[in-house]
Amino acid sequence: MNLYSLKMRASKSQDGIEKHISGAEKITGEDSLFIYSKALLTRALYHSKGKADFINIKIEKVNQEDILFLDALPVTTVNVSSYQDGIQKLLAMLEKIGITNASAVLEKLKDTYNMRGAMLLNVDTLERLEPNKDRGIRATYMDEVNSVMKKKDTKDHYNEAIVLATKVAYAPNIIGEICISDDPDYVTGYVASKENGYMRITKLKEMGSEDGGRIFLYRGDHSKVQDCIDYIEKREVLVKNISSILNKPYKTEESTKNKWNFIDKALENLKYNNLYRTMNEIKSAQSAHVTFQGKEMIMMASNNYLDMSNDSQVKAYALKAMGKYGVGSGGSRLTTGTINLHNQLEELLAVFKGTEAALVYNTGYMANIGIISALCSKDDVIFSDELNHASIIDGCCLSKAKIVVYRHNDMNDLEDKIKQNPCSKGLVVSDAVFSMDGDIVNLPQLVEIADKYGLFSMIDEAHSTGVIGENGRGTMEYFHMTRNPDIIMGTLSKAIGSEGGFVCGKQELIEYLKNKSRSFIFSTSLSPAVMAASIKSIELIMDEPQRVQALQENIQYFCNCLREAGIEADSETAIIPIIIGDEKSAMEISRELFEQGYYISAIRYPTVKKGCARLRVALMSTHNKDELKRAARVIAAIVNRYKRMREYV
């Protein structure tokens, strides 16, 4: 069997500077070249560090007589609770392999963050030895024996790292290697040496950070530097016995007998990084004022935008339905769980949204994953806004379609991506109002582009229904559109004040989803009281548009009050983000607001990007002008104080 070396390098231009995105390689047989080439190309195109605009794939025949077979380094896993603890472990490991200036060596790792390869460092003089300081040294021509034999085409960070570490450990004059992953989705790293093996550390940075790099640790006569580089970059190596090592119980510095260790450590890490989440118990109805921890507070974080969940008419109608139909539905919609209220609500939703038909789901999340996974499959392409809600993202992943992410609300980028990714069937999907930013999708252009290329168009109207448009009917009314998107998804749990999700569209779409959407088919239906509450709420929105107008007036008034107080604010929706930046400050500001009687949530990573933490103010139609003006002043005073503190520091 002929063997080939297959290499991939991917980068993108950022502010005029080439930024490394991904690199990988294989040694494989001729019959697997296409499979691996496609796998590496996919990795380059859909990396968590962004999409590459330059991808280089190189294929070379390998002389099998030149291949060096090496036994994989033994593996040790060191569990730590925080990245600070991980760094201390790393320093101790460097000292263990004979490095007396470990802190100075580790400091050099920062210089590798923007390099395309690894640094070659003289550990005694701290002199950099690589000929090209921008390129660095690249370990190439290597793979795992089993990967060559078994056509294993999936990405495996762990195996690939052990292969590279093993090859480098046997290089002339190399006494060890340091590596921290630059992938924002991975926080691990390792120290490797021929004497002590591959020592994996579970946390060496914060989740979401792209800081990472690699140093090859050199000791000895400089006359051997070129021999070392030639070995690392040119010698063909296959590593044996990785599978047998990884199938054995890991050696660890902590007991692995307790299967709950990883959960405890994960929770500790969340707390340390101000990302730990808890639930607040409210002891009153969800309304403009709530009782929390024994005191009345102004609720400015709820999605109950029209205060329908506490409306007397809505509650009375739900109570009446419960008296007649009972408290549960007794089954799924396709067995015993459909009563006349379910059909009545779906007919009303279709009228409200101006479509032929509608279908109710148990939640908005279940609607999105059920709709998208039913419509798309592995041969299709989904074009998704980069700020779409998690339920849309999860629906895309469940579908197994190719996912192409376009820049936020950028219709030019959307069209470019469609041209670059032609397909026979595809979907363009976007939030209508983005849940963390409050901005509105450019729906006319989105629908026009989707129609132009023969793609389905879908929007999620969770935060636009009952909020925008003259009568609260959502994005189509807001833009005065006569052509609806193909698929209109929404929720009953926000401005409508009840529970559930829905989809509106053509009758054939609804019939298809009844038969193909798993989250609809395999769920017990919502209770009669919930159906009744949704019906009455929608009727009130349709009959009393002044409720929507009161909300829209509050939005405009509150934004003006914030601007007068020195806070940037511009929103046409009930969601008004106030960007803070770091997670700790956002949490502290939110706590101060709670103490002063304002229930305003801090939104942190991973809901928003790292370093983009914010206060998410959500208004209701029943807030009065005086309390909104006072709230704006209090928010501005606290936020501006924290800004001054940061500037001082």
Cβ count near 211 (within 10 Å) = 15
Reported as half-sphere exposure (CB side, CA atoms, 13 A), residue 534 has a value of 31
Q: Amino acid identity, residue 22? A: S
Residue 279 lies in a domain: no
- Residue tagged active-site, from 203, 315, 494, 623: 494
Burial of 605 (0-12, 13-18, 19+ CB in 10 A): middle
Residue 202 lies in a domain: yes
Q: Amino acid identity, residue 648? A: Y
Residue closest to 515 by CA, chosen among 305, 321, 254, 333: 333
Can you list the alpha helix ranges (DSSP code H) found in 82-241? 83-96, 102-107, 145-150, 157-169, 225-234
Last residue of a domain, one of 484, 515, 543: 543
Between the CA of residue 381 and those of 189, 391, 455, 474, what are the distances in Å?
A: 34, 17, 9, 27
Residue 618 lies in a domain: yes
DSSP-assigned beta bridge partners for residue 403: 382
Residue closest to 634 by CA, chosen among 599, 609, 604: 599
Can you list the alpha helix ranges (DSSP code H) found in 186-260? 225-234, 242-246
Residue 473 lies in a domain: yes
Residues 92 and 33 placed together within one structural domain of the fold? no
Q: pLDDT value at position 252? A: 46
DSSP-assigned beta bridge partners for residue 292: 282, 295
- Could you give the CA distance from residue 218 to residue 224 in angstroms, rounded to a whole number? 10
- Could you give the CA distance from residue 553 to residue 439 in angstroms, rounded to a whole number? 17
Residues 528 and 560 placed together within one structural domain of the fold? no
- Residue tagged active-site, from 26, 203, 463, 536: 463
pTM of the model: 0.65
Residue closest to 110 by CA, chosen among 56, 182, 47, 32: 182
222-227 contacts at long range (C-beta below 8 A, 24 or more positions apart): 222/122, 222/129, 224/172, 224/173, 225/120, 225/129, 225/173, 227/172, 227/173
The domain containing residue 327 runs over which residues? 309-543
Residues 319 and 206 placed together within one structural domain of the fold? no
Residues 147 and 231 placed together within one structural domain of the fold? yes
Residue 38 lies in a domain: yes
**Which residues have C-beta within 8 Å of that of residue 39, sequence separation ≥ 6?**
153, 154, 155
Q: pLDDT value at position 255? A: 44
- CATH number of the domain that 550 lies in? 3.90.1150.10
Cβ count near 504 (within 10 Å) = 26
Residue 281 lies in a domain: no
Q: Amino acid identity, residue 258? A: N
Residues 537 and 453 placed together within one structural domain of the fold? yes
Last residue of a domain, one of 25, 47, 64: 64
Q: pLDDT value at position 647? A: 66
Active site residue 435: yes
Q: pLDDT value at position 390? A: 93
Q: pLDDT value at position 526? A: 97
Residues 34 and 131 placed together within one structural domain of the fold? no
| Count of structural domains, the chain | 4
- Could you give the CA distance from residue 110 to residue 453 in angstroms, rounded to a whole number? 46
Q: pLDDT value at position 256? A: 45
Last residue of a domain, one of 543, 577, 606: 543
- CATH number of the domain that 418 lies in? 3.40.640.10
Residues 10 and 87 placed together within one structural domain of the fold? no
Residues 228 and 360 placed together within one structural domain of the fold? no
Residue 283 lies in a domain: no
- Could you give the CA distance from residue 222 to residue 124 in angstroms, rounded to a whole number? 12
549: which 2 tokens?
């107008």
256: which 2 tokens?
């692995």
Q: pLDDT value at position 105? A: 95
- Give the chain's residues under pLDDT 70: 1, 15, 47-49, 147-157, 243-258, 646-649
Kindly write down the DSSP assignment for every residue of 127-148, as one continuous string. -B--S-TTT-B---SEEEHHHH
Residue 419 is given by DSSP the state H
Residues 137 and 233 placed together within one structural domain of the fold? yes
- Residue tagged active-site, from 435, 457, 498, 534: 435
Residues 525 and 553 placed together within one structural domain of the fold? no
Residue 277 lies in a domain: no
- Could you give the CA distance from residue 70 to residue 246 in angstroms, rounded to a whole number? 16
56: which 2 tokens?
């280089």
Residues 414 and 526 placed together within one structural domain of the fold? yes
Backbone angles phi, psi at 319, to 5 degrees: -65, -40
The bridge status of strand 54-62 relative to strand 613-618 is unpaired
- Could you give the CA distance from residue 291 to residue 584 in angstroms, rounded to a whole number? 26
